[in-house]
């Protein structure tokens, strides 16, 4: 135990001299706690080491660091970087919506279960108190959740621009004075709900000029995605398949091209129906997901919201870890040497 104690002591002293970060402190305390549970350190030795760093802090969070390498409540592994959109940092890579739920209470429970930090709100429906949206603006804690006003229901660029301006004012009224985000939707097609590429580009150009952080919802069109990046959009949001369809990722090849060619975050939006599809999008290298219908229309919405949040984390970690190469032949998992053979 003495050797283990000295090793920790040297790490702590060295870390404190170099302004040890909060994450490094949590990781070290977690490792100390884990060492105590293995009897590599006595309880008294563990407490002594903790005191060197200022005492015990957030025991459960520190233990999560020791086991998983990151605290479970942030969804950001230590070897990853947080999601940054228009200079604002987010730890969760799942965005959710507020529509289609059976009740406001179910929506609240689902948002909490998902652990998302961005929630999109249909400005027009909130402004008019449309069915299912009564009291929506007051239903969530906007000190903890970043509002993403969207221009759902707009059929032209001009309509979307007007609604975006209303959304910015709505965010200010709810206490987010610096919120200039808008999810841009221009959808003239009532049957298939496919976004208008020309109207979207026109509206994006104007909104960027007015200081908006524009997150455009688009078909999985790599050329359009690049053009929107060039005019100043802060993300691109290609659809996986038609909105609300639950068909999954039908545009994988084009989405992969977008991921590989644009520098702004890529948020896969629309069509995801299951956590496995959510994980697949993240494994491709998408930066985030926006999921509404799959959660709201599930038989147990809060449970599905939690599953989608976990899938987003798992997919992201798998992408960062790097999958094994695919081969066209079998390779035994166990070594072939040292086996017992019979004559």
Residues catalogued as catalytic: 183
The Cβ of residue 1 has, within 10 Å, a number of other Cβ atoms equal to 11
Measured on CA atoms in the order 174, 159, 193, 284, is the torsion positive or negative? Answer: negative
Map residue 48 onto helix, strand or coil: helix
Rg, C-alpha atoms of the chain: 24
133 close to 165: Cβ distance less than 8 angstroms: no
DSSP type of residue 262? -
Q: Do 306 and 278 touch, CB atoms closer than 8 A?
A: no
CA-to-CA distance for 59 and 129, rounded, in angstroms? Answer: 44
| CA–CA separation, 266 and 136 (whole Å) | 28
Contact 114, 304 (CB under 8 A): no
């Amino acid at each position: 135990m003495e050797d283990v104690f000295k090793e920790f002591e040297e790490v702590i002293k060295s870390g404190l001299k170099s302004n040890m970060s909060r994450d490094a402190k949590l990781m070290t305390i977690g490792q100390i706690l884990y060492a105590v549970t293995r009897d590599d350190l006595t309880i008294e030795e563990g407490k002594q080491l903790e005191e060197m760093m200022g005492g015990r802090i957030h025991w459960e969070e520190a233990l999560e660091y020791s086991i998983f390498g990151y605290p479970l409540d942030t969804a950001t592994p230590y070897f990853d970087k947080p999601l940054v959109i228009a200079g604002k940092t987010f730890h969760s890579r799942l965005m959710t919506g507020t529509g289609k739920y059976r009740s406001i209470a179910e929506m609240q429970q689902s948002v909490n279960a998902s652990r998302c930090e961005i929630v999109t709100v249909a400005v027009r429906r909130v402004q008019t108190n449309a069915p299912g949206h009564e009291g929506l603006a007051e239903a969530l804690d906007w000190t903890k959740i970043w509002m993403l006003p969207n221009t759902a229901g707009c059929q032209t660029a001009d309509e979307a621009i007007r609604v975006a301006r209303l959304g910015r004012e709505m965010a200010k009224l709810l206490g987010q004075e610096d919120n200039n985000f808008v999810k841009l939707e221009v959808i003239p097609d009532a049957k298939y709900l496919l976004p208008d590429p020309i109207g979207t580009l026109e509206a994006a150009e104007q909104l960027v000029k007015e200081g908006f952080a524009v997150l455009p919802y688009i078909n999985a069109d790599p050329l359009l995605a690049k053009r929107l990046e060039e005019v100043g959009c802060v993300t691109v949001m290609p659809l996986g398949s038609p909105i609300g369809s639950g068909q999954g990722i039908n545009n994988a090849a084009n989405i992969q091209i977008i991921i590989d060619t644009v520098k702004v975050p890529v948020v896969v939006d629309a069509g995801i129906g299951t956590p496995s599809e959510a994980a697949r999008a993240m494994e491709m290298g998408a930066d985030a997901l926006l999921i509404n219908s799959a959660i709201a229309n599930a038989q147990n919405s809060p449970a599905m919201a939690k599953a989608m949040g976990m899938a987003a984390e798992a997919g992201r970690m798998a992408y960062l870890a790097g999958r094994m190469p695919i081969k066209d032949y079998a390779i035994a998992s166990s070594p072939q040497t040292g086996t017992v053979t019979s004559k």
